[in-house]
Amino acid sequence: MSTTLSLPEKLDTRAAEDLAAMLGAQEPGDLRLDGTSVARLGALCRQILWALQADRVAQGSSVTIAASEAMAEDLRLLGLAGDLVSEGDDT
């Protein structure tokens, strides 16, 4: 079973604790993150997303992100666009 979560507009350092708590509260299984309204993604929240993906993959599950253009660009600048966002996923 897959769960979809909407991400907030700002994923900066101030949002990191809430993001970690929200993601940590999710049941095991596939997770789809709706980042279509994310305007800013900082390095700390990116690290939380990367750790979430690594943890889910280790459990045999997946994490997919539907990223806004701004989020995809921030991931690209941080060197992780291909690691966290599926190619062609622009929804």
CB of 63 closer than 8 Å to CB of 53: yes
How many separate domains does the chain show?
1
Q: Is residue 89 one of the residues assigned to a domain?
A: no
Cβ-in-10-Å burial (0-12, 13-18, 19+) of 21 comes to exposed
Predicted confidence (pLDDT) per residue in 17-67, tens digit:
999 999 999 999 999 999 999 999 999 999 999 999 899 999 999 999 999
The CATH code of the domain that includes 27 is: 3.30.750.24
Helix (H, G, I), strand (E, B) or coil at 90: coil
Expressed as residue numbers, the domain containing 23 is 2-84
Predicted pLDDT at 31: 94
Pick from 81, 56, 79, 83: which is nearest to 71 by CA? 81
For residue 19, being part of any structural domain is answered with: yes
In a domain, 53, yes or no: yes
The answer to whether residue 17 sits within a structural domain is: yes
Query: pLDDT (tens digit, 9 = 90+) per residue, 4-17?
Result: 999 999 999 999 99
